[in-house]
Amino acid sequence: MCRIIACANQKGGVGKTTTALNLAAALAEKGFPTLIVDLDPQGNATVTFGLDPEDLQATVADVLLGKDFDPRYAIYKRDRLHLIPATLELEQVAVNLHAVRLREHRLDRALMLLREQYDFIFIDCPPSIGVLTENALVAADEVIIPVDMGFYAMVGITQVLGTMEDIRETLNPNLKICGFLPTKVEHQSAFAQEIIGKLHEHFNGHVFNTVIRLCHRLQEAPSHGMTIFEYDRESPAAEDYNTLALEVMRWTSNPDQPLDN
């Protein structure tokens, strides 16, 4: 059964794109057909996937706006890892969507047609609330919330939980938290340990056991259009995203189980 998982957090730079891409790549390597939907006009996932934004026949903008557009025409493939790209054009589409009826359901409707082809679909959300993130949260079964170890981490979480609650009340009552994911973790940092401690205290059962360590190889990989597995398979980040993939596989086979036990 296909799981649709949004990577969301209004706070910028916390690792949403890095997680969507490398977790998807880890699952694809394990044999699961996996799709990434780039829903951010910045197009970071698209570029890291190795695509040139100037050279795309179709993007997620066509999926959202084209009434009878077949989403399969916007899929780009690398083995079992597939991607629907985004470009800056998506910013204008988000504005145009405001005049469209049932605008928050556009992505959901398109992904219905693709569910049968994939085991996992990851949606990379922009760092803002608005019609794009709303589309992601209506289409998703669950949400991964990457949390970096910065001072404002908990503020970002409050915002994303508030948005999820609104969507649950109105548009997608079945939306679940898959897990909070600590990112850019320096194990020797007392501040990082304090934030991870707070996550467990407030969201017991919804925090991944896996943490993604601070790893500079992760910053370099996108400039080569590569996932961490292609760029440096021996890096700590490759190990962490592999472990996360196993944890996600375990959780999705039984989503009622708490994560940390």
Ligand X SMILES: Nc1ncnc2c1ncn2[C@@H]1O[C@H](COP(=O)(O)OP(=O)(O)OP(=O)(O)O)[C@@H](O)[C@H]1O
Three-state DSSP class for 47? helix
The DSSP 8-state label assigned to residue 213 in this structure reads B
Three-state DSSP class for 56? coil
Selected from 18, 34, 59, 133, the binder of ligand X by CB under 6 A is 18
Among 6-14, 50-58, 174-182, 190-198, which window interacts with ligand X (CB under 6 A)? Answer: 6-14
Selected from 2, 7, 10, 17, the binder of Mg ion by CB under 5 A is 17
**Distance from C-alpha of 145 to C-alpha of 44, rounded to nearest angstrom:** 18
Binding to ligand X by residue 12, rule CB under 6 A? yes
The CA dihedral of 81, 87, 91, 92, to the nearest 10 degrees, is -120
Among 8-16, 24-32, 53-61, 80-88, which window interacts with ligand X (CB under 6 A)? Answer: 8-16
Q: Which is nearer to ligand X, 18 or 252 (CB)?
A: 18
**Distance from C-alpha of 43 to C-alpha of 103, rounded to nearest angstrom:** 21
Selected from 5, 17, 38, 203, the binder of ligand X by CB under 6 A is 17
Separation of CA 102 from chain center: 23
Selected from 212, 228, 244, 248, the binder of ligand X by CB under 6 A is 212
Positive or negative: CA dihedral 84, 138, 167, 20: negative
54: its two tokens: 């100037």
Binding to ligand X by residue 44, rule CB under 6 A? yes
Binding to ligand X by residue 218, rule CB under 6 A? yes
Subset of 38-97 contacting Mg ion (CB under 5 A) = 44
Nearest distance, CB of residue 32 and ligand X, angstroms = 21
Among 11-19, 131-139, 174-182, 189-197, which window interacts with ligand X (CB under 6 A)? Answer: 11-19
The answer to whether 135 touches 163, Cβ cutoff 8 Å, is: no
254: its two tokens: 């039984």
The answer to whether 260 touches 205, Cβ cutoff 8 Å, is: yes
Nearest distance, CB of residue 89 and ligand X, angstroms = 17
Nearest distance, CB of residue 15 and Mg ion, angstroms = 8
Q: What does the binding site for ligand X look like in residue numbers (CB under 6 A)?
A: 12-18, 40, 42, 44, 127, 183-184, 212, 214-215, 218-219, 237
